Amino acid sequence: MSRKGGSRLAALLVGERPYVLGLVVLVTLLVVMALGALESLSAAADRVERLETQRGQYTTAIEELEGRRDALQRPEEIELLARSRHGLVRPGEIPFVVVTPEPELEIVPEGAEPSEDDVPWYRRLGRNLSELFS
């Protein structure tokens, strides 16, 4: 048996077969290396796209903040902000605070039966079930 197995190995190494086998192994290695490089390139392209999107968002935020900074350089804007947020007034001004009235609550007499809407749902359910089975 070992002679038969040895003859097969010797047959593979004779003639053009070793070159074909080497070529197949070489092509396989090249394909595997190329796939790894393509995967790395694809991941890098995805990262670049994600970073460019992030940069666009940061640029927009920077523009908004610069606009706010420029607005806060004007004394009128600072005064408006101080008046609206902090309730500041100029000397001699009389501040008024508008208070909206609270809705009036209904006063129910102590002996009065509560309306159907004021009874909790579980009590209404219990009452309806007891009426149904009585």
Over residues 38-63, the mean pLDDT reads 95
pTM of the model: 0.42
128: in domain: no
CB 40 within 8 A of CB 34: no
134: in domain: no
Q: Domain of residue 32: give its range.
A: 10-91
More confident site: 6 or 133 = 133
78: in domain: yes
42: in domain: yes
Q: Supply the pLDDT for residue 1.
A: 46
pLDDT higher than threshold 50 for residue 132: yes
Confidence category of residue 56, pLDDT binned at 50, 70, 90: very high
Over residues 6-16, the mean pLDDT reads 69
36: in domain: yes
Continuous H helices in 1-134:
2-12, 17-71, 75-86, 121-133
Over residues 72-96, the mean pLDDT reads 89
112: in domain: no
What is residue 74's DSSP assignment?
A: S
20: in domain: yes
48: in domain: yes
CB atoms closer than 10 angstroms to residue 77: 13
The model's pLDDT over 86-128, given as tens digits with 9 standing for 90+, comes to 888 889 988 888 888 888 877 767 777 767 777 888 988 998 8
More confident site: 37 or 5 = 37
Total of domains in the chain: 1
